Structure formats: structure tokens, C-alpha cells
Amino acid sequence: MSTESANIDIGTPGNYDYGKVIHASLLFYEAQRSGKLPADNRIPWRGDSMLDDKGDNGEDLTGGYFDDLGINAADYRAFANKSIGYALGDTGRSFVVGVGVNPPTHEHHRASSCPDRPKVCDHSAFTSPLPNPQVLTGALVGGPDANDSYEDKRDDYVHNEVACDYNAGFQSANAGLLHLKLKGLL
């Protein structure tokens, strides 16, 4: 049996192997599987479970992931893929700075709105109508409103704010999609 879910050497602070970090994160999702597990199960402490699991109306809920609960996983995978495509600009506007089609250039981020040093960075830099002098590549902005309307305006923190928690979900979704693609499931 594999011991792949044991502690994984991901490098040292400042010198992490991010491929291994993503790999370790994906092992978490593999640990969420239920039903009869495959022979290549990489989680040694995880065995078959929920073999007789039934839904309220007698539906067979065995197999898949605990979060799947017998639903059509292919539909949700397609939805995730479509959602990431939307964020990257499939409809003509990316919501990720420096990436995709027509990306934001006025993200609500103080440091990226500052000119190159040694020029002074003050409130006039933040209120400038020009694109941010520093490209905050990979930052996901808040995005459009409920009517799918979006203006690339730095002072609109609701729609143009960037934050680590936005990017955490975005990066996780991308890692999951990459995993599915490499497994031939997408």
C-alpha cells in the first residue's frame, strides 16, 4: 500500500516546491472519496466506506467523493471549467490582472498603483485615471455585479478589489481542473 499521504517534503521557507504543495492539496480531495476505493488508492489509512449508502429516496450514493453524493460529477466539472474560462476572459473580458483577454488594469491595490521608485507614491497615484504602473499579474478582482456589468475603475473596491482569499479559491479551482485534465476527466 502506498504511503503517499505521509508528510511530504515541499522544500524550505522561501524555496518551496509548489508542484509538491499542489500535489499534497490534491491528496486531501482523494481522502474524501467514498465507496469501493480503487487499487491505486494513494491514501493508505483510507479504506472502503459507505458501501450501503442510500439517499432519501433509495438512490445509490456509493462511490465518488463525499461532496459528490451521487450527483453527476461531469456536470459540475464542466461548470467549474466554464467558470474559470469566464474569469479568464472567454466572454471578452478577463477578471484576472495581466492574464487572459482584456484583463483589468486599474485593480484596487495601493502598491500596484504607485509609480516606479524613487517617484513619490501618494493619493494622487491612486486616483490617477491611467492604468496601474505595476502589473499585479494573477490577481483576481471582485468582478462584475449581478447584472454582469463591470467597469475597470480603481476606486470601485467592490468590483475591482484584489485579495488573497479571492485568489485562494481561484488557484484551488485551477489546481483541481489541472488534476482532472491530467487524469483525463476533463
Report, as residue numbers or ranges, the catalytic residues: 152, 161
The rounded distance, in Å, linking the Cα atoms of 146 and 168 is 22
> How far is the CA of 43 from the CAs of 3, 14, 156, 175, in angstroms?
7, 28, 45, 19
Residue 164 CA, chain-centre distance (Å), reads 11
Contact 138, 88 (CB under 8 A): no
Cell of 135: 502589473
Cell of 22: 499542489
> How far is the CA of 49 from the CAs of 33, 54, 73, 163, in angstroms?
8, 13, 19, 38
